[in-house]
Amino acid sequence: MQDSVKSPPMDQPARPMIDRPAAPSPAMLDDDAIDIGELFDVLLRHKWVIILTTLLGLLIGYWLYLKAVPKYAATTVLQVEYQSAGYGNAFLSFLSEEGGGPVMMEKVSLAAEMTVMKSRSVLLPVVRELKLDLVARPVYFPVIGEVVARHFHSGTEPAPALFGSQRYSWGGDRIQLGALDLPPTWFGVPFVLVTEEGGRFRLRYEQEEILTGQVGERARGQLGGDSIEVFISYLDARPGTEFTLMRRSERSVVDQLRQQISINENPRGSSVLEVRAEDISGVRAAEIANLVVEIYLRRSIEQKSEEADKTLAYMEEQLPQLRARVEDAEARYNNYRLDQGSIDIQHETENILNSIVEIDSKLFTLQQEREELRQQYKPAHPKIQSIDRLTATLNERVGELETAMMSLPVTQQEVLKLAREVEVSSQLFSQLLNSIQELRIAKAGTVGDIQVIDTALPALRPFTPSRTKTVGIAVVLGLFGGVGLAFLLAKLHQGIENPEVIERELGLPVYGSIPHSEIQKRHAKAMKKQGKHWDGFLLAREQPEDVVIESFRSLRTSLHFLMMEASNRAILITGPRAGVGKSFVSLNLAAVLAQGGKQVLLIDGDLRRGHLNRYLQYPKTPGLSDYLLATQTREAIIRSTKIPGLDFIACGERPSNPSELLLTDRFKTLIASFEDDYDFVFIDAPPALVVADAGVIGASTGTTLLVVREGMHHIAEIDLTVKWLQQGGVSPRGFVMNDVQPRQGYGYGYRYSYRYGYKPYGQYSSYTRRAKDED
């Protein structure tokens, strides 16, 4: 073995003086910078993950749409009119001018009206009238039965049974439950009705049959000592079809109905209310909305009529007393005038009389109103307080008039007193008669405070689910989920993708970056599909202008400079593990050097699983192991290939002791014998971390290159490979990064160009790289 490498031939160009750019230091790397191109590349690399999750979201969204129960909405529009609070105000039309202010009149509160409309007193009659507490629905096939019945059945006839399942409904089956009378202890318990021929049916609980019956007739039965009665008014289904019957408690149904009804003022401040009801049936939704308003209106009218009855009864009760008071006052007034003779009432006395009569009339009316309000409110209520303030003001005025009356002659005082009683009593009696008549007329024409503007109509289409909204949201969530999963996979992936990391962490250069070859991949797939191992396809020979081969030419230039410091011409090619593409690198690098006019020898040094002979279409024997076992000569194992300048030695038959054969002097002598015949001798060795052969072979070579695959190795694995070889006395000179994936906007980012120059470090994606079809 020679101690130094031969000088380059005379026709080889002189080595250009090129300063190699130093690898950036950690301080130069901005870890916080966001590379938009890098993010886009992650999405592009994981496009199938994103596409699959989006499609999954689409499928889930469409299934949720099909599975969701349609809901319909119907709206009744009404207007609430502001009116006085009671019928008693029919005879309280005056306004006080004495400082007490008007008696407060109450306006209808919309919030209170909305609360009343959703109260149990209104909703319970709705539940009973529409029989919302009765449940009757078909039994569907698990998971898909209801979807098939709802979306894939057309027509009114019951659908035929699928999968031989007669008990399940597949669409078109209808039932109307008229009554289900049973004790409250059985509320909420499902019963099963099974249809039979001729409109007959059977009712059972679990496995116990309760009764048999006929459609249109009441059927009775016993269950656990309790009597159960059922009435089916309509039934259209295949014989054997099952239905679930159940009666729910009215309280639970009212609570559910309260959630189905919404009342809003629209537009705000207009006193126009929209009563919206939701249900799985469009017809029933309209019935609920209309019935809620109808019952509320009926309740409002009944309440006002009841109020009128109470007021009328009170007034009729006061009428005889007031009539007797009038008659008594008139009698005493007439008797006094007979006793005193003819008495003329002076002008001043007449004025006082008129004022007192008017005020007394108002006081009497206020007293009646107060008594009426006392039946509804406490004395502290604002309405009663308002009447009390006005009463006090009027009493003060009466006191002033009575003081003025004391200055009159005695005869005039007495006449004034008696005339006052007559006038006040007569006026109040007349007023009371008029109020009673008005109240009777008002009662006969009683209307509520609500005016229905639009009644609810059955909706033609459900308002939910919305196919566009449901599927759209699911697709968006699937898309974002795919993007998130893509970034998560990129984050979890710890493979080295940037050669700068290797140089910074290990202090060894990366001499070349070999792009991913789609041509090689497609050809390998074609061979696998045809059942062949290989057909002699060699990328460097078949596609010499391919961008991948250009990267090998760049590596060739670097290799020329590297060999000037090597102890011999032998180059060991190995890697941390199988599958990195070292055989692909060895074959094409050797071919490129041979195409450049060099004499190159390629040796398959993997005596265990060597397969370079497949790519060159040679048998394994005779080969290296045969020579080391002394069964073949040196000349016998060297074969010329179809590429001029490239010779090849196969691995030979697999021996029982590969490492021991490589340790023999015969192997070292063989390698040394090629020094004068070849410019480059490449030895493709097994993975360094798998077997010890690479370290043994490296002891006989002047240069060792490690092939790593982009995105495949953690830095610790590469560091362990280097240390493992160094422990065996082999010092790797550098690395070749294989299968570099293209990055959007930056190409492959090769490290070197083939024109003896250096390119800046490229940008590298964070995608788990696709494997080449070699090794």
Give the three-state DSSP class for 439. Answer: helix
Q: Which residues pair with 204 in a beta bridge?
A: 192, 209
The Cα–Cα gap between 641 and 289 comes to 91
Report the pLDDT value the prediction gives residue 712, as an integer from 0 to 100. 84
Q: How many CA atoms lie within 13 A of 723 on its CB side?
A: 7
Report the pLDDT value the prediction gives residue 443, as an integer from 0 to 100. 57
Give the three-state DSSP class for 485. Answer: helix
pLDDT of 737 over the 60 cut: yes
Helices (H), 622-711: 624-628, 634-637, 658-662, 665-673, 693-698
Q: Are strands 242-247 and 191-195 parallel, antiparallel or unpaired?
A: antiparallel
Look at phi and psi of residue 143 and say left if phi exceeds 0, alpha if psi is from -120 to 50, else beta. Answer: left
Q: How many CA atoms lie within 13 A of 237 on its CB side?
A: 29
Could you give the C-alpha distances from 671 to 125, 152, 666, 764, in angstroms and in order? 105, 78, 9, 38
pLDDT of 568 over the 50 cut: yes
Amino acid letter at 662? L
Q: What is the mean pLDDT of residues 561-577?
A: 89
Q: Are strands 208-214 and 200-205 parallel, antiparallel or unpaired?
A: antiparallel
438-466 per-position pLDDT tens digit: 766 665 555 556 788 999 999 999 999 99
**Window from 196-205, 259-268, 708-717 with minimum mean pLDDT:** 708-717
Report the pLDDT value the prediction gives residue 447, as an integer from 0 to 100. 56
Which helix (H) or strand (E) segment holds residue 227: the answer is strand 226-236
pLDDT of 217 over the 70 cut: yes
Q: What is the mean pLDDT of residues 685-689?
A: 91
The Cα–Cα gap between 643 and 216 comes to 97
Smallest Cα–Cα separation from 662: which of 703, 632, 629?
Answer: 629
Report the pLDDT value the prediction gives residue 284, as an integer from 0 to 100. 95
Q: What is the mean pLDDT of residues 637-651?
A: 92
Q: Are strands 600-604 and 646-649 parallel, antiparallel or unpaired?
A: parallel
Residue pair 377/90 in contact (Cβ under 8 Å)? The answer is no
**pLDDT band for position 407 (50/70/90)?**
low
The Cα–Cα gap between 403 and 352 comes to 10
Average pLDDT, the chain: 80
Place of tokens 């970034």: 487
26-71 per-position pLDDT tens digit: 333 444 455 677 788 788 878 999 999 999 999 999 999 999 999 9
2-34 per-position pLDDT tens digit: 343 344 443 444 333 333 344 444 333 444 455
347-382 per-position pLDDT tens digit: 556 667 677 777 777 777 787 778 777 766 777 888
Residue pair 304/448 in contact (Cβ under 8 Å)? The answer is yes
Q: Which residues pair with 452 in a beta bridge?
A: 78
**pLDDT band for position 343 (50/70/90)?**
low
Q: What is the mean pLDDT of residues 201-214?
A: 94
165-189 per-position pLDDT tens digit: 889 999 999 999 999 999 999 999 9
223-268 per-position pLDDT tens digit: 988 999 999 999 999 999 999 999 999 999 999 999 999 999 988 8
The Cα–Cα gap between 387 and 389 comes to 5
292-331 per-position pLDDT tens digit: 999 998 888 777 776 666 777 777 777 787 778 777 777 7
- Residue 184: both structure tokens together: 């409250």
pLDDT of 72 over the 80 cut: yes
752-769 per-position pLDDT tens digit: 333 333 333 333 333 233
